[in-house]
């Protein structure tokens, strides 16, 4: 296979990957943001959290980047491993979405 074809295929694959890394759905992104925040607050690495949940480390990475959405049962396992009530995860996701929809606040003139 000529080098040009190989490079073209590689470039195409990388473009596809880059598109996956940037979720546009706020709900999908919220899950990842909250899981990452809680994991970091707990002082856990992705490896430790995934091991505690029985998942592959790449699974936690993809959840945190918003590439995949965990099922409710998997999100519950994550909550248990982080010793966080499931309801707190849902509440934090809702608050994050609201903050993103509002956008940055402008300083009021007084």
- Residue boundaries of the structural domains of the chain: 26-101
H or E segment to which residue 15 belongs: helix 3-21
C-alpha to C-alpha distances, 23 to 18, 52, 62, 68, 98, nearest whole angstrom: 10, 26, 11, 9, 17
Considering the entire predicted model, what is its pTM? 0.72
In terms of Cβ atoms closer than 10 Å to its own Cβ (0-12, 13-18, 19+), residue 18 is exposed
| 53-108 pLDDT, tens digit each | 999 989 999 999 988 999 999 999 999 999 999 999 999 999 999 998 887 666 66
Q: Out of 3.40.50.150, 3.40.50.1010, 1.25.40.10, 1.10.260.40, which CATH number does the structure's domain 26-101 have?
A: 1.10.260.40
Cβ(80)–Cβ(87) under 8 Å? no
């Amino acid at each position: 296979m000529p080098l040009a074809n190989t490079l073209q295929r590689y470039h195409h694959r990388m473009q596809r990957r880059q598109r996956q890394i940037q979720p546009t759905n706020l709900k999908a992104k919220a899950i990842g943001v909250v899981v990452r925040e809680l994991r970091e607050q707990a002082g856990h690495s992705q490896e430790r959290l995934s091991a505690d949940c029985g998942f592959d480390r790449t699974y936690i990475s993809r959840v945190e980047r918003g590439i995949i959405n965990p099922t409710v049962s998997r999100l519950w396992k994550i909550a248990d491993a982080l010793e966080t009530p499931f309801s707190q995860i849902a509440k934090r996701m809702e608050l994050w979405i609201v903050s993103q929809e509002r956008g940055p606040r402008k300083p009021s003139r007084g």
